[in-house]
Amino acid sequence: MRPVIRLALRDWDYLTPILLGEVTSDRYDIRVTPVGTLLPTVDGNPDYEGAELSFSRYVRDHAAGTARDHGVPYFLMRGFRHRCILTRKSHGADTVADLRGRAIGVTGWPDSGNTWTRAILRREGIGVENARWYAGRLTESHPVVDRLSGFGRPGVIEAAPDERPLMDLLNEGFLDAVFTPFLPPGFFDASSPFRHLTPDFKTAELAYYQQVRYVPGMHILGLRSDVVARYDDVEDEVCALLDRSKAMWSAKRVKYADTTPWLLNDFATIARAFDPDWDAAGLDANTSMINDFCDELKAQAIIGDVPSVATLFAGT
C-alpha cells in the first residue's frame, strides 16, 4: 500500500488533473484537499502532510528562528502586482508614481502579495514612509481580524478607521488606492466606481518582467519535517506530480482556448516574452526572485536579518 500524503492547497485550476485522478504517483497516494484559507503552518498537523504556505510567513519564521516547516521552492502561487492596485474611476491618478503621499489600503501588511506590490512603489522611489497606510478587510463580507500583525506605526501604518471595509473607504474618498490580491465582486460591472490604477497593467507587468526576469512568487509548498525525514523522496514525488498536473492542464487550456475569447493571445505573449523556465520550481530558476523578496522584507522593516537561500531551503 502506498503511503498517503495529504496536501491542503488552494483550488488552483492546474490541480484539476490531480483532483480527477488523471495524474497519480506510483510511489505515494497523494491527495489534495482544496482550502480557502492558507494554513499558518503544517508542522504537527495531524490532518495534512503538506500545505500551501505564505512565502512571507515562511521567511519571517526563519528570520525569527521559529521555522518548523520543510519549505520547498515550488511556488504554487505567482503573479504580477500592478493589477492588484485599485482606485476610483473618478480619481486622477493613473501611474504608480502618483501614489506618493497618498492614503493606501492593504488587506494585510506583511502578506507576500502586498510586500511585492509595495516593492513596485519602491522602484518608483516611494518608500513605506512616503505614503499613509491603512490595513483592513476588503469588503463587508470579509472578517474583522488583525491585519497589521504587529507592524503598525502611528501616523504611517494603521488599522482602517472603525474597521470599515477598504472598498467603502476608497469609494468615499478617504483612500486613494487599495492593494488587494483578489478583486472585489462586481469590479468589472459597468456601474462599478472602481478601476485599476494602471489602465494598461499588462504592458507595465511585461516591462517589469523584462527588468527582473521573474513572475513574483507568493505561496510555496510546505511539508512536515517529520514526513520528509521518514520518506526521503517525498519532496521530489510531490513536485513531479504537480508538474505533470500543470502540464496536462496547460495543454488542455490551449486545446479548449475558447473558454475565454483571447486566451490564446495570452499563451502567445508568454511564449514570446517569457523565459521557458519562468514557472519552474527549484532554486536554479528562483534564487534571484527569492533574494529580491527577502531584501524587500528587510527594506520594508518586516524582518531584520535576511536568511540565506540555503537556510530557507536546506536539503532541497
Q: Are strands 85-88 and 177-179 parallel, antiparallel or unpaired?
A: antiparallel
pLDDT digits (tens, 9 = 90+) for 105-147: 999 999 999 999 999 999 999 999 999 999 999 999 999 999 9
Residue pLDDT, tens place only, 218-250: 999 999 999 999 999 999 999 999 999 999 999
Q: Which domains are assigned to the chain?
A: 4-79+215-312 (3.40.190.10), 82-212 (3.40.190.10)
**Ranges of the chain whose pLDDT falls below 70:** none
Residue for grid cell 505515494: 28
C-beta contacts of 224-227 below 8 A and 24+ residues apart: 224/42, 224/43, 224/44, 224/45, 224/48, 224/49, 224/50, 224/69, 224/70, 225/43, 225/68, 225/69, 225/70, 227/5, 227/49, 227/50, 227/70
Q: Quote the DSSP letter at residue 153.
A: B
- Give the Cα separation of 282 and 239 in Å (integer): 9
Q: Amino acid identity of 284?
A: D
**pLDDT at residue 315, as a whole number:** 72
